[in-house]
Amino acid sequence: MPDRPSSDPGITLHRHPLLASINSPSDLRALPEHLLPAVANDLRGFLVDTVSQTGGHLAAGLGVVELTIGLHYVFDTPEDRLIWDVGHQAYPHKILTGRRDRMPSLRQKDGLSGFPKRCESEYDCFGVGHSSTSISAALGMSLAARQRGERRNVIAVIGDGALSAGMAFEALNHAGSMDVDLIVILNDNEMSISPPVGAITNHLARLLSGKIYTTMREGSKTALRGMPQLRHLVGRWEEHMKGMLMPSTLFEELGFNYIGPIDGHDVHAVVKTLHNIKEMRGQRFLHVVTQKGHGYEPAEGQPVTFHGVTPFDRRTGEFRKAASKGPTYTQIFGSWLCDTAERDPRLVGITPAMCEGSGLTVFSKRFPDRYFDVGIAEQHAVTLAAGMACEGLKPVVAIYSSFLQRAYDQLIHDVCLQDLDVTFAVDRGGLVGADGATHAGSFDLSYSRPLPKLIIMAPADENECRQMLRTAYEYPGPAMVRYPRGGGPGVAIDPEAPALPIGQGEVVRRGRHVALLAFGSMVTPALSAAENLDATVANMRFVKPLDGPLIRELARDHDVLVTVEENSVAGGAGSAVAEWLSTQGSNVPCVHLGLPDRYIDHAEHGQQLAACGLDAPGILASVRDAYALHYPARDLYDAAGIKSFDLGQGLQQGIGSA
Ligand SMILES: Cc1ncc(C[n+]2csc(CCOP(=O)(O)OP(=O)(O)O)c2C)c(N)n1
């Protein structure tokens, strides 16, 4: 941690005077190089100050402080294009590119995004959030520059975790064969969120252990010129090694000029190497070694915990205690998985690099032989499960809704088409709050619903989540349970609760005139809204197969049906209901509430729901409008027998009764 007094837990720019003078990268470039370590000190201190207040991604940003300074110091950003992979490490970049004073608004409604975003700054030349896109995007930009006759540097910065994804290698493979100028910087901190996996990781480790040896390579000699210490080593070893067979790095085999590894916390070495690399042409691959969490002791010691944080005390690194709530859906999944693995030796658990986030930590320790972290490789995770299922195992793929988007064809072609017995535990279904649009699970019901054979469930509460996981696991084909981020309404869990009958929903409130057909997380706010309307509420449970008889009964007994889901209205569960009604020749008005046809920015989850009209007041208002549209002569509240309805009071009651 920068050696400054840390008595003030607030975000105190006066404690970082050099940083206070940098309002854009041109201010940074105007500084003499000898001041850069002090800039790094300020930047690191300010970053900890800020994130300790707002929460967000911390350890990755701390690790790239010197690299970020070096890049903006040496390159002419934004004219030169700088693309951060994933973007969770880009807070120092935000601070240096004119957004320092907005950092307290990070990840909050109308505040700075937690990821680079094109509409936020001209320095964010590519929007990110999902991993391993940087090299493809950089290659595209470089080819565009060539085509347009423009001369600029294009730099992709990618972590060793993100490098485990197929997409990164597809891009390297393509780039290596092109006549193109491109710089790829590998930020190697020997960590993904958790320790990275795979043969590439082993290859990088070998490169690190052969550090002196690799500095002898041609590209390195050029790039490291002017660094007397390393040149001296190169000189001494050159003769010695002459004639020996030099194994090349993977990156050289792919057509890149491999340079490094260099110490990513020595800002002078970083600046010098970047200057030299800038003078070279073609495809350059710089291997920078950093430490995740560098410079802040608690994060250095616990890089996994400090990957993404809630607010904490910067002096001690202790997290502020949250009010104790019930288990999250993620935790419910984790304990169901362990209990089921205990009973069934065929169960295997698969995660694409999201052990902690998906609730697999305990399972990975208790059942290490049945736990597979495949790296950031969602496509592979799904097809791996398919292969295992072919051979009689019972794979459970734990995956975030937005990351499953990456494996759509594998879901269709490898799992569903072959009717394989794979269970998908789809976490973060619906809006996810501060992580924003890149991570929102807005589409999974829409994109999975058309797939024959697949059954899809969405739990209304904690106990139902466990029951649905059991149902999915016992179902001998592809099955998906999609549940939201965080916790549910607080229902007690019965670990022995039976599996659910496939394709059956239930009426949870009987009323009149309007029936709300609610899916998953929307059952609770629908019930609140229904209290004010004396409406019927059905917990539909299954998005596929739908409960046709239940829909028929509801259509028969009500004036209007309203579907409610935390998924895109387009193609979602409500569409499924409408399609079903049309096959029955029903003409009951059916209104669909869900996520609108736009991306929902970061904010608190409750704020996001309110913005989409999916909180109790929003549902109530939409139902009233819908009723008025179809029955202009009747006021719903009159029809519901609520004579002197006070809207404001009613709304509050609605919320309170949830
Ligand atoms: C497609 C996709 N899968 C998973 C994630 C979640 N994720 C965010 S950062 C990260 C680890 C990245 O590791 P690395 O690139 O080494 O960066 P580091 O955090 O170590 O700096 C993961 C798995 C993601 N953002 N995108």
Residues in a beta bridge with 542: 457
How does DSSP classify residue 392? T
pLDDT at 225 over 90: no
CA distance 638 to 494: 41
Q: Strand 312-313 relative to strand 318-319: parallel, antiparallel, unpaired? A: antiparallel
Mean local confidence (pLDDT), 372-378: 97
For the CA of 307, the nearest atom of ligand 1: 19
Atom of ligand 1 minimally distant from the CA of 85? 15
Residue with CA nearest ligand 1 atom 25? 130
Q: What is the pLDDT of residues 474-527, one digit of tens each?
A: 999 999 999 999 999 999 999 999 999 999 999 999 999 999 999 999 999 999
Q: Tell me, letter by letter, the H, E, C secondary structure of 234-268.
A: HHHHHHHHCCCCCCCCHHHHCCCEEEEEEECCCHH
Burial of 454-473, coded b for 16+ CB within 10 Å and e otherwise, reads: bbbbbbbbbbbbbbbbbbbb
Whether 162 lines ligand 1, by a CB cut-off of 6 Å, is yes
Q: How far apart are the C-alpha atoms of 14 and 37, rounded to whole Å?
A: 18
Q: Give the number of the atom of ligand 1 that is nearest the alpha carbon of residue 357.
A: 6
Ligand 1 within 6 A of CB of 130: yes
Q: Is 165 helix (H, G, I), strand (E, B) or coil?
A: coil
Q: Smallest Cα–Cα separation from 508: which of 528, 527, 495?
A: 527
Ligand 1 contact via 156 beta carbon (within 6 Å): no
Determine which residue's CA is closest to atom 16 belonging to ligand 1: 161
Amino acid 647: pLDDT: 38
Distances (CA, A) of 344 to 148, 369, 387, 493: 60, 14, 19, 21
Q: How many CA atoms lie within 13 A of 479 on its CB side?
A: 23
How many residues make up the chain in this entry?
A: 658
Q: Are 436 and 127 in contact (CB under 8 A)?
A: no
pLDDT of 210 > 80? The answer is: no
Whether pLDDT at 290 is above 90: yes
For ligand 1, say whether the CB of 376 is within 6 Å of any of its atoms: yes
The answer to which of 285-289, 581-585, 602-606, 631-635 has the lowest mean pLDDT is 631-635
pLDDT of residue 642 exceeding 70: no
The CA 375 to ligand 1 mean position distance, Å, reads: 9
Which token pair is 567? Answer: 């998924």
What confidence score (pLDDT) does residue 205 get? 83
Please give the pLDDT value at position 75. Answer: 98
Residue 232 confidence class, pLDDT cut points 50, 70, 90: low
Closest C-alpha among 243, 224, 223 to residue 232: 224
Phi, psi of 173 (to 5 degrees): -60, -45
The answer, yes or no, to whether any atom of ligand 1 lies below 6 A from the CB of 460, is no
Question: DSSP of 607-635, one letter per residue?
Answer: HHHHHTT-SHHHHHHHHHHHHHHH-TTS-
440-467, pLDDT tens digit by residue?
A: 999 999 999 999 999 999 999 999 999 9
Please identify every residue annotated as catalytic.
Answer: 292, 378, 406
Residue 427 β-bridge partners: 400
Asked whether the beta carbons of 431 and 442 are under 8 A apart, the reply is yes
**Which ligand 1 atom is the nearest neighbour of the CA of 130?**
26
Q: Is the pLDDT score of 319 beyond 90?
A: yes
CA separation, residue 486 to residues 127, 234, 325, 359, 565 (Å):
26, 54, 10, 12, 17
- The whole-number pLDDT of residue 637 equals 65
Distance in angstroms (rounded) separating the CA atoms of residues 114 and 56: 7
- Predicted pLDDT of residue 476: 98
Share of the chain above pLDDT 90, in %: 81
Averaging pLDDT over each range in 190-204, 243-257, 541-555, which range is the top one?
541-555
The confidence score (pLDDT) of residue 11 equals: 65
Is any ligand 1 atom within 6 A of the Cβ of residue 293? no
Residue 649 has pLDDT above 80, yes or no: no
C-alpha 645 – ligand 1 centre gap (Å): 51
What tens digit of pLDDT does each residue of 34-50 get?
999 999 999 999 999 99
Which sign, positive or negative, has the C-alpha torsion 85, 87, 91, 96?
A: positive
Its sign, for the CA torsion 69, 75, 80, 84, is: negative
Report the Cα–Cα distance between both ends of the chain, in Å, rounded: 45
Confidence at residue 544, expressed as pLDDT on a 0 to 100 scale: 98
Q: Rounded distance, CA 80 to CA 520, Å? A: 46
Mean pLDDT of all residues belonging to the chain: 91
CB 527, CB 499: distance < 8 Å: no
Question: Is any ligand 1 atom within 6 A of the Cβ of residue 193?
Answer: yes
pLDDT digits (tens, 9 = 90+) for 113-143: 999 999 999 999 999 999 999 999 999 999 9
Q: Output phi, psi for 520, to 5 deg.
A: 55, -125
| Three-state SS at 327 | coil
Nearest by Cα to 313 from 10, 95, 1:
10
CB 375, CB 355: distance < 8 Å: no
Phi and psi of 514, rounded to 5°?
A: -120, 135
